[in-house]
Every structure is written in C-alpha cells, then in structure tokens.
Structure 1
Amino acid sequence: MLDVGRLQVLRAVVTSGTVTAAAAHLGYTPSAVSQQIAALEKQAGTALLERVGRGVRPTPAGLLLTEHAALIGSAVAQAESALADLRAGRTGRLAVRYFATAGSTLVAPALARLRADHPGVRVDLRLTDPEDPFEDVARGRADLAVVVQAPGRSSGEGFDVVRLLDDPYAAVLPAGHPLAGEDVVDLHELAGEHWVGSEPPGPCLEPVTDSCAAAGFSPDFVIQSEDYATAQGFVAAGLGVGLMPRLGLRTLHPGVVVRPVRNPEPVRVISAAVRTTALDQPALRGLLDALRDAATTADPPLRGPD
C-alpha cells in the first residue's frame, strides 16, 4: 500500500522541481526527502523521478502518483474543514427520539431553537419504541431520547439520564361529577369509581397504580385507551374517571373537569437519555439546553368548562 505522506513528499518535489527546494518547503533535510522518495519507489515498484540537469522531473508513474497526491491533499483539506464545522456545531446530524405528549410541548420548541442556533445540523426525529424507549440511545442508533424515566434509573451503559421536569397527574372527571366543584381532590375519594385507563403498562402507569395503592385502593379500570383525547371522551360520556398527566391535558374535552390530586399526587418524571460519547457535540448540548428551557414553560394550567 502506498504511503500517503510519501505521496505528498513526491508532490512537493515535482512541484518545486528539486529535492532541495522541496526539503525547504516541507521543513525536512534533502537527505530525508530523498529517503522518502526511495521508499515510495520501492512501494510502487518503479522509478518515480529522473534527473534533468540540476533538477528532477517525474516519470510517467511519478506524474500519475503526483496527480493522485493532489486529489488526496484536496480531500484531506476538505475533510479537515468538514471536521472543524462538525466540532463547531455548524454541520452534522442528530438522531432524536421522543414520545407523543412530549412532542409539541418539549421537542418542537427545542428543535426550533436548535434550527436557529445550528441551521446546518440535520435532525432525524422519530417516536421512541414503547417497549424500550432507551434502546436506540443504548445501542448508538440515537443521540438523545426524551423518555419517561422509570423509578431508580439514572443512567445506563453508554448513556446518561438528565431530568427535565416532573409531570403531575390530575383527576379527569365528567362535568357533572360530585367532585367537579372541588378545588382539589383527595385520591382516596376516587376509590369506588369506575376508571378509564389512559396509560400503557410501564413507567406512565406505575405512578397511577402506586399512588392509588398508597391511598388504600386499586383502580377499577373498566375501559382502556392509550390516547388522552379518546380517554377524555370516555370520561365526558360518564363511563368513568381517570388520572392523566398534565402534559397530556393541554387540549381539554368540553365535557370534562380537571382537578389537582393530593394524598398522594402521582407524578411521572420526564428525562432526556443522552448518548455519552455524543455530548462533545455543540449541537447536542444546545438541544439539551433548549429542552431544559422548554420544560420550564411546559406545564399547562388546570381548567375545565365554565
């Protein structure tokens, strides 16, 4: 295999016309340049230079390799420039994963800021795998994922978990429910109700079932819906009550009332799982900062029909 460095030495000799001039340009001794050319000729299996008076000129093989050395030098310069742009956050690509209710409230404003600050960075944006939202980050297929953090999980192999916000659950009641007039609902007051489930098994459902257990009962789920708008429709029809996270209640059905819950208040933790080796990218750090800022204004007010 031809040595790239020796090719550039050959190019310098051919361009300058003498070994001495090439040595001065490269900062080498003439002897070192001659040794590099001799080693390259051994690799190539043919002579690359021939003497002409006090100078040298390339043989056909030497001219061929000089032309390729110029292409290689240009490619290396382009690579160095591209690398500098990547390190500075001017270019690059980020793979981002998110779950549905975090999309409009957290991810959208964060990506808008990322585009303004790093317009040359492309984003591959997809929904997380509901079975294992950490998988793409853990396997290096994504740089960042917005996830609901399971209790006790603060990191994993190859990634760190950064807490963004606590998302409390609220009681969603039919407009004519006896508790609809209360300012706040004690969780045990919902013990005898039929329930509309809105969460799939996993870290979004666990705060609901764990809090109900702490209040002394197990919720009687008579209807299951993993869509907040649909679940609100079931509640509005009087088919049950529910607990839903506030980020999922930014748009309310006109037939429901939403009230804070206490004793205890269920809370899910929303975090960003970030691939550790990607944290040196300015664009990724900027996206993480933008997600933190979006989290400070993401909590919707609790309200209901007048």
Structure 2
Amino acid sequence: MQKLTIGTRGSVLALWQANHIKNLLETQYPTLLVELKIVKTKGDKILDVPLAKIGGKGLFTKELEMLLLDGSIDLAVHSLKDVPVDFVEGLGLAAITRREDVRDSFLSFKYESLESLQRGARVGTTSLRRVMQINALREDLDCQSLRGNVQTRLQRLENGEFDAIILAQAGVNRLELKGIPYIRPLEFMIPAMGQAALGIECREDSECVEILNFLNDKNAVFETHCERAFVRALNGGCQVPIGINASYQEGSLKVRAILGLPDGSEILKESLESEVASIKDCEYIGITLAESFLKQGAKVILEKAQNWQF
C-alpha cells in the first residue's frame, strides 16, 4: 500500500487526532503517503439541539462509515467514546490507541472548582452522564446544554454565558489549552466508555488492519473492550447517562460504573476488580457488571432517561 486517506471531522480537536495518527503512520512507514479528507457529520451540522435528542447510533460516525464502505477513504479516526458499540457490516476497529487522561475537567474563568460555584450557577455540558453526576453532587446548579467544538464552547464560557463548562481532560491536554484560570480534573466523575482513547476504523477486509496494528495499546484495548461490553449489554448508546471506566495494570482490571437519571434522583453505582488475561476476560467482566445493574432495575432507569428533557 503506497497511499492512505484518513477521514476525519473538521474540528480543531478532530484534526489534531487525525494528524497525530498521520504522523505516527509516516514515522512507522516512511514511504507511505498519508492524506486527510475532512467530513462534516450530522453531529457537527445540528448544533441547536441537545445531543441526547438527536443521539442515535452513529451521530459522529455515519458519514465517515459511508466513505469507508465506498472506498473514498481508507480509515477513519474517531474519539472512541463517540463510536457506537455495534458496527456497520464489513467495518470494525483496527486499532485502539494509548489513552490520554481519562478524567472529565472543570473549566471556569471565575470559579476555582465545582464546589465553589454559587447556587444556580450555569454549567455547560453536552453529556447527560456528566449532568447526572453533577446533580447528584450539587442539585442546586443549573446544567445547560452546550454544543459546538471546543473553541466555540470556550468562547461562550469567556463571554459569560456559562459560569463553568465540563470538557474531557484528554481534549484539554491535546490542544494544550491556556488562558483559562481554573482547569480542574474531576476525580469523582466516572468517564464515558472509551474516553481518552482514539479508535481507528476501517474495512475488515482492508490491508489497513495489518498496517494499523502497531497503534494498538494493550492496556487501552483491555480497558475499552470491558467498557464497551458493559454498554452493549445494557443496550446503551453514546448519549445516555452511563459512566464506565476500566483500569488495567499488571494483570488486574479495576472497573467502576454508574448510571441513572440526569437529575441524580435515581442512581446505580458499582465497582469490582478481577484478574484478567485476555480481551474475552475483560468483556466478561463488563457483561457481568452490566448483569448486576440490570438486576437492580437499570433497564427501567435508562428507559426513563431516554425521554429526559435537557
């Protein structure tokens, strides 16, 4: 293979991610020509509606997947947390990269922390998962939907439309955001499945599968397979209030998970630790944890959450 075309969304963060993979490929294969093709997805076009209202499977991936299938691009670089747990036939993940910081992050120009916000302070986020966990901690805050790319969100924060916003710490780090007085990782908040990893998607019959193999990180692969198995077993998507984070180290997998209603009134939360030696072991742990949640009424809670107004 002499040339590869990477499909990517056009935001600054998406382009950083695509160029990061481009650079790694060119370093690994010096004779390989790699180019980018920018694609605007449904999630990028509809910015005046909360994600949960339009959050069907493939919100940020469908258009890229169509180009993969027709051969217009060879691979697509995604934030793994945006990738649905079920793939279009013929497509799959060829690589899952080493994770950045998995935590969510508090950003504000005026307030040092979530705890220091005044009653009724406006907190911007796209995620019902984050809203749920914020409301469980501080139900007096006003969580509001905040769409757009990172730069748009920061501008609205600086303009005073919000007292604080919540972003993924991975994006903060990758873009090396500066000029914001208060940036605080949120230790209490359980991240989304796949958060801080990049997922590289391609056709299952493509030469890219072998070419991209060097990008796989064992820890990230083990962790995210557990997380995605948990969400799949719950029949949850990217835009429902589910948090799941697995951490693999020296043969041991630690997992913590949460789901509930966005107002924090009903929440299930659990954690476990187990020895693992394979991807199947990790997926089994995710499924086992999901079954425990289902026995506690998770299905009813998630059905309520899907109809939530935000």
Larger Rg: 1
- Higher helix content, 1 or 2: 1
TM-score w.r.t. structure 1 length?
0.48
